[in-house]
Amino acid sequence: MRKFTGIISLILMFMIPAALYFAKSQEPEDSAADNNSVSSESASSSTSTTIESTTSTTSESTQTTATTDSQPPKSKLNKPSEAKPYPELAPDDWIDVSINDQKVYFKRGDEVLYTMNCSTGLEGESATPLGEFAIESERGETFYNQGSGEGANYWVSWRDHGVYLFHTVPIDENGNYIESEAESLGVQASSHGCIRLSVPDAKWIYDTVPVGMRVVVRE
């Protein structure tokens, strides 16, 4: 009996440390498994966020592009004809008006300093007269003609002392620009004989062009 009890004690001496070692060896594996699970969930969340962000950015970009493409072109009414600054004029500079081109060229000799889109008189009784003229002393900020039902701003006379003018696109009786008329600038004749221009172009002539500057109107 004592011999049997000794054998059992011997067996227990080996089994208990082995059991403890086995239990401890399982803890890091479980911890690593938990860490792997957390990392996997984090990576999955990050990937999902990235995909959602990319999808949102692409959608916003597509929407912005579509909105931009659907915008109508800006009116010529309030735009200078060229992106560059207006020129500094010299005493011998002159104005060349082309009926065929629907353009006003500011020139120094044969060099074009600046080109403006314009709209000249309709054919027939409203045609803009051809020939060589000069800027006259009459000019003003605004006028309105009851007979034609139109007026204009920033006018400068170049023939018959207030009859033939450079001026803006026409205004109505309330002083509002008739914006649809701006679409004719640089494209076709539409005036009663005067030379219509965008608002910035007409104002620059009103502010800058001196009395006596030569004006040539040709086909």
Residues annotated as part of the active site: 167, 194
Q: Would you say 122 and 191 are in contact if contact means Cβ atoms under 8 Å apart?
A: yes
Strand partners, 119: 196
And the tokens for 91? 């005493």
Instruction: Report how far residue 9's alpha carbon sits from residue 193's, in angstroms, rounded to the nearest whole number.
Output: 127
Strand partners, 103: 98, 117
Chain centre to alpha carbon of residue 103: 24
Nearest to 214 by CA among 153, 139, 141, 135: 135
The DSSP annotation for 136-179 comes to: -S-EEEEEEETTTTEEEEEEEEEETTTTEEEEES-B-TTS-B-G
Q: Would you say 122 and 135 are in contact if contact means Cβ atoms under 8 Å apart?
A: no
Q: Would you say 154 and 141 are in contact if contact means Cβ atoms under 8 Å apart?
A: yes
Signed CA dihedral, 114, 115, 116, 119: sign only: positive
Q: Containing H/E element for 72?
A: none
